[in-house]
Amino acid sequence: MTCSFKVLNESYGARLGKITTSRGIIDTPAFMPVGTGGTVKALLIDQVKSTGAQIILGNTYHLMLRPGIERISRVGGLHQFMNCDLPILTDSGGFQVMSLSKISKVTDEGVAFNSHIDGKKIFISPEISIQIQKSLNSDIVMIFDECPEYTKDKNRVESAVNLSIDWAIRSKKEFGVNKDKMLFGIVQGGIFNDLRKDSLNRLLEIGFDGYALGGLAVGEQQNEMFEVLDNIKDNLPTDKPHYLMGVGTPADILGAVKRGIDMFDCVLPTRSGRTGLAYTWSGKKNLKNAKYANDDTPLDPIVNCQASQKYSHSYLNHLVNSNEILASILLSWHNVAFYQDLMQKIRVSISNNDFENFYNKHFDILNS
């Protein structure tokens, strides 16, 4: 089956679309729960699916180190290994190599680094990254890129752009012709608008099925991220999906949708859930706080999830402060469901040509 993308409507800069894959439809704007190591932390895949999620994300770097690609490919790929029939996008591992590993050397050929788990020396190149993602049998494959840390050193960022373009060419060559999968390029350039546009133009010359914006959500302020999006949104191809990697808070997502972004991923829903934080339509809540001790109302009855509707603030406050495992499960489930509810309501507002009102009603509350 040939993968495809189609824009169905636009409203106030936001795009309603549909990605078709061999494993199912992905309605956009879409949020991808992060299943870094073959699991969306604290959740069964059936719980993830119950939230309305239509795609999840896996990570080449983490799966390569543990459990190892051989164990996953032996059963046919990541879908079979983790019992997931949803489409899966795999990150190439470039960001994790740069952020988690003790790097020995970055060369034109690739990156030699020490595993953050056991210190073992490992080498990964664009070719190896694509080969691993093929073995994982993911539906959307990301090129291998160099993602520098947040910096205002333009020379450092420009060097990363140039290297990432070389690696993009090699990634596409290794990917070959594969009509039942999609290959996304990754735009780098930090907070420098001219470097971003140069990176995008060179990726467009190579040609990809979608275009991701990397190197954001790495320490810059929200207004800096939005400025980058404002300056590149009109240059992104209208017939391809736009993916903002690693973003973000509900307000980040709402602001990015306004700027034409179609796809998101972030660890925040589950990571926050494991630390007692809940995202709701009335804002973020820290369930550790004593003010919830005698609050018998449900966490967020608007969200169509058992964790949101059937458990009180008081009970969740007790679980969190008692370090009960169930706290992580319920709050992670709720947060993923809230993010999916947010995306569904965004899509409805775009379909109804009412995204501007939706944005104005919710942005400040979600950004508090």
What is the per-residue DSSP string for 61-126?
HHHHHTT-HHHHHTTTSHHHHHT--S-EEEE-SHHHHHHHSEEEEE-SS-EEEE-TTT--EEEE-H
**pLDDT score of 104 more than 70:** no
**pLDDT score of 85 more than 70:** yes
**pLDDT score of 246 more than 90:** yes
Residues carrying an active site annotation: 91, 265
| pLDDT (average), residues 136-140 | 98
Query: Mean of the per-residue pLDDT values for the chain?
Result: 96
Per-residue confidence at 39, pLDDT binned at 50, 70, 90? very high
What CATH number is attached to the domain comprising 77? 3.20.20.105
Per-residue confidence at 150, pLDDT binned at 50, 70, 90? confident
CA-nearest of 202, 231, 229 to 214 is 229
Question: Which residue has tokens 């164990």?
Answer: 71
Give me 336's structure tokens: 């993923």
| pLDDT (average), residues 278-291 | 98
- Per cent of the chain over pLDDT 70 is 99
| pLDDT (average), residues 266-288 | 98
Q: Please report whether residue 278 resides in a domain.
A: no
**pLDDT score of 168 more than 70:** yes
**pLDDT score of 298 more than 80:** yes
Q: Please report whether residue 23 resides in a domain.
A: yes
Per-residue confidence at 94, pLDDT binned at 50, 70, 90? confident
Q: Please report whether residue 54 resides in a domain.
A: yes
Q: Please report whether residue 12 resides in a domain.
A: yes
Q: Is the distance from CB of 287 to CB of 277 less than 8 angstroms?
A: yes
Q: Please report whether residue 192 resides in a domain.
A: yes
CA-nearest of 189, 236, 195 to 214 is 189
Domain that holds residue 53: 4-273
Q: What is the largest CA-CA distance in the chain?
A: 60
pLDDT at 93: 80
pTM equals 0.97
| pLDDT (average), residues 270-279 | 98
| pLDDT (average), residues 211-237 | 94
Q: Please report whether residue 342 resides in a domain.
A: no
Residue-wise pLDDT for 171-194, tens only, equals 999 999 999 999 999 999 999 999
Q: Please report whether residue 266 resides in a domain.
A: yes
pLDDT at 217: 84
**pLDDT score of 36 more than 80:** yes
| First-residue to last-residue Cα distance in the chain | 44
Q: Please report whether residue 311 resides in a domain.
A: no
Residue-wise pLDDT for 341-363, tens only, equals 999 999 999 999 999 999 999 99
Number of domains in the chain: 1
Residue-wise pLDDT for 227-238, tens only, equals 999 999 999 999
**pLDDT score of 323 more than 80:** yes
